Amino acid sequence: MQERMDMYFQAVMQQASDRELGTVPDLDTYTPLRRDTSGCKAGFTLIEYSLNIELLDDIAEHPVIRDLEDAANDAISWQNTHNLVVVLMNQLKLSRQDAIDRATDLTRDTIARFETSRVQLPSWGAGLDDSVRKYVQGLQDWVVSNCHWSFDTERYFGGAGADVKETLRIPLLPRRPTR
């Protein structure tokens, strides 16, 4: 947990520095940084705690488990966008709408990657497999609940969350004038 919190704080400092300097990272730089600034890595530890399970180190560090965590983290983080649209606009020279569409595609691809990785989970034996299944279900539940939370709170859509969820249309504010 300590290591994951350290990564979080270092990433937040990097993000603040980038913002102050007006630096927009490319997608390959942004993705691992966003995985750390999301706080999901530290939060995923709580899945084990809440389910009263503990994944052995060789399971927790297995490439398929890591890929499931990365895919869940990306899906959670990219629903929040957190400048993903700006990164895509800058790197790929896309319009705002095209960048939003590309961010949607990336999120959809990430969810498909999660499902592909889930099917590739090896077996560690009956007792351990049950803990792994619970952990992976916890990752999936987090992705789904984050989506619902985004519509149910007023953080992103004010009081229009239900309408946005139904219509899939988000009224955007006009662009701010550049200085």
Domain of residue 103, CATH code: 1.10.600.10
Give CA–CA dist 90/68, Å, rounded.
Answer: 28
In this structure, is residue 33 part of a structural domain? yes
Q: Which helix (H) or strand (E) holds 134?
A: helix 126-152
In a domain, 71, yes or no: yes
Count structural domains, the chain. 1
Q: How far apart are CA 116 and CA 68, in angstroms?
A: 9
Evaluate whether 56 touches 132 at the Cβ level (below 8 Å).
no
Q: Could you tell me if residue 13 is inside a domain?
A: yes
Residue 137 lies in a domain: yes
pLDDT on residue 125: 95
Range of the domain at 56: 2-159
**Residues ≥6 apart with Cβ < 8 Å to 24:** 18, 83, 86, 87, 90, 91
Tell whether 165 is covered by a domain.
no
What does the pLDDT look like over 103-140, one tens digit per residue? 999 999 999 999 999 999 999 998 899 999 999 999 99
Asked if 65 and 132 count as a contact pair (C-beta separation under 8 A), the reply is: yes
Is position 146 within any domain?
yes
User: What is the model's pTM?
Assistant: 0.86
pLDDT at 10: 87
Is 169 among the domain residues? no
Say how far apart CA 73 and CA 36 lie, in whole Å. 9
pLDDT in tens, the chain (179 residues): 688 788 888 888 888 898 899 899 999 999 999 999 888 998 899 999 999 999 999 999 999 999 999 999 999 998 766 589 999 999 999 998 999 999 999 999 999 999 999 999 999 998 899 999 999 999 999 999 999 998 999 988 899 999 999 998 887 778 788 76
The answer to whether position 8 is within a domain reads yes
